Amino acid sequence: MASRTRPDPRPKTDGTPIPAKPCPICGKPATAAARPFCSPRCREVDLHRWLTGAYAVPVVEEDGGEESGEA
């Protein structure tokens, strides 16, 4: 197998701390404990949004179109 090192998704910086992404919920700097959120609370808020359908992905039913009742 390839014995290469794992690619680092984050760019290498020379001693400069990589700024944490802001919490998508409130915009505060994310913490390691609750990334990518600033706190477990915001994580729950995000989860709740998912559950309530705020982030609902539009369902496109294009494949499996067996109903072609058109002559």
Toward Zn ion, which CB reaches closer, 34 or 61? 34
What DSSP letter does each residue of 15-38 carry, written as one string?
SPPPPPPBPTTT-PBP-TTTTTSS
Judged by CB under 5 A, which of 21, 26, 33, 40 binds Zn ion? 26
Q: Is 42 a residue that touches Zn ion (CB under 5 A)?
A: yes
Judged by CB under 5 A, which of 1, 16, 38, 54 binds Zn ion? 38
Q: DSSP character for 8?
A: P
Number of helices (H) and strands (E) in the chain: give both, helices first. 1, 0
Residues that bind Zn ion (CB under 5 A): 23, 25-26, 28, 38, 42
